[in-house]
Amino acid sequence: MMAFLAGCAALPPVSSHAATAACARDRSEIGVIDIGWHTGLIIPADEMQGDLKFVPQYFRVKPHDWIFGWGNRRYYMAENPSVWEGISALLPSHSVMLIRAVENLSAASDLPGVKVRWLPVTPENLHRLDNYIAAFLTVNHTDGLTVVGAGPYPRSKFFASPGTYDAFHTCNTWTVTALKTAGYPVHPAGVIFAGQVLSQLKTLPVCK
């Protein structure tokens, strides 16, 4: 269980991104990143729409891709999370969004166990996905986002999130719900672990 929580509290380093021709012609693409316990989402920078278009102003770079990971605030942001913080994360608690700007991204094949599955998405469903992610970012009284800390990786930051994290609504529940919002035939009910997300991804078309 602690390994599961740790997986929901980390996004791995990534490197160069090779364009996927099958999606580049008439559709957009999104990525689902899998590091064994945790799943997150990758949105190419030129696909940021709706309320997400305000995210880049909080970074001083112009990346190729953005990685989004959602999780328990206390556990996620702890440099060395304790057992108690892990147990507390199982109860309804505050959440946070880790956003990382990545200049170059690939399937992270240089990192053992880390994979990215690229999925085709229509512009309309991409817009819905962007707004779903944006709904998990707290908007403050000045209509801006709330940065709550520096992230653990280069060009990454933690942002306040209004969502509630618990044992039955994890980072993986969040990911598969995002995919359903984007029009994919997936089912969030009962999804807790990364493997449950990945098993549903197997039936979806991929970009090659």
Give one DSSP letter per residue of 20-77, joined into a string: -HHHHTT-EEEEEEE-SS-EEEEEEGGG--GGGGGGGGGSSS--SEEEEEEEEHHHHH
| Contact present, 39 and 32 (Cβ < 8 Å) | yes
| Residue 208 counted as domain residue | no
Is residue 155 within 8 Å of 99, Cβ to Cβ?
A: no
Question: What's the predicted TM-score (pTM) here?
Answer: 0.84
Alpha carbon distance 165, 187 (integer Å)? 19
The answer to whether residue 207 sits within a structural domain is no
Give 190: exposed, middle or buried? Use CB within 10 Å, 0-12, 13-18, 19+.
exposed
In a domain, 196, yes or no: yes
Let me know: does 136 contact 99? Beta carbons within 8 Å: no
pLDDT at 3: 44
d(C-alpha 55, C-alpha 182), whole Å: 20
Residue 55 belongs to domain spanning: 2-201
Q: Which residues of 53-92 are buried (b: 16+ CB within 10 A; e: fewer)?
A: eebbeeeeeebebbbbbbbbbbbbbeeebeeebbeebbee
For residue 9, the model assigns a pLDDT of 52
pLDDT value of position 177: 97
d(CA 9, CA 39): 10
In this structure, the number of other CB atoms found within 10 A of the CB of residue 102 comes to 25
| pLDDT value at residue 36 | 74
Q: How far apart are CA 52 and CA 46, in angstroms?
A: 11
Q: Output the pLDDT for position 23.
A: 60
> Phi and psi of 157, rounded to 5°?
-145, 150
Give the per-residue pLDDT at 180. 97
- Give CA–CA dist 101/66, Å, rounded: 5
What pLDDT shows up at residue 51?
82
Residue 110 lies in a domain: yes
Decide if 206 is inside a domain.
no
Q: What is the domain count for the chain?
A: 1
For residues 41 and 31, the answer to whether their CB atoms sit within 8 Å is yes
Low-confidence spans in the chain with pLDDT less than 70: 1-27, 78-92, 104-113, 208
- The answer to whether residue 168 is domain-embedded is yes
Residue 97 belongs to a domain: yes
Question: Is there a domain that residue 29 lies in?
Answer: yes
How far is it, in rounded angstroms, from Cα 120 to Cα 16?
20
